[in-house]
Structure 1
Amino acid sequence: MVEGMRMNLWKFLYNNFDELYLYCYYVASTVGLMSVPDMGIAPESKATTESVYNAALALGIATQLTNILRDIGEK
């Protein structure tokens, strides 16, 4: 997460989706991944720990991309 904040200081344009994905991972997915242990997984859940972490990662990427697209639309 700290690395993503550092990127905000010097990186404003991304040359390809891989660079943008990495930024989204740092600023959003890390928050979701750090939240999983605190929020836990319901005991009755059939989801694996790996699938929960994968979902947290994907949700972070999707949320940040949506935020970026919203910002573009406002300019």
Structure 2
Amino acid sequence: MIQGMRMDTRKARYNNFQELYLYCYNVAGTVGLMTVPIMGIAEESVIPVQSVYDAALYLGVGNQLKHS
């Protein structure tokens, strides 16, 4: 997340999707990942823990892409 904040101070446009995705990962994907331990995973969940983290990451990145 800190790396994403640094990116905010250096650049406003990205040359390709790979650069944009990296930015989105750093500023929003990391926030999604940090929310999982805070919100928790239901004990009765049958979804693998890695899938929950993946979904949180993709939700964060997707929301950032929507606003980029």
Uncovered stretches (5+) of structure 2, i.e. residues with no partner: none
Identity of aligned residues (%): 62
- What's the TM-score once normalised by structure 2's chain length? 0.95
Q: What letter matches 1:37 in structure 2?
A: P
* Residue identity opposite 1:5 in structure 2: M
Q: 1:35 — aligned with what?
A: 35
Q: Please state how far the C-alpha of 1:38 moved relative to its aligned partner.
A: 1.1
Q: Tell which structure's C-alpha radius of gyration is larger.
A: 1
Calculate the aligned-residue CA RMSD, in Å: 0.7
1:11-67 deviation line (CA, Å, top 9, x unaligned): 111111000000000000100101111111001111111000000110011000111
Structure 1 segments of 4+ aligned residues over 6 angstroms from their partners: none
CA–CA distance in 1 between the matches of 2:40 and 2:12? 35
Distance, in Å, in 2 between the alignment partners of 1:60 and 1:2 is 15
Rounded to whole Å, the distance in 1 between the matches of 2:59 and 2:36 is: 12
1:67 alignment partner AA? H
TM-score between both structures, scaled by the size of structure 1: 0.87
Partners of 2:12 and 2:56 lie apart in 1 by 25
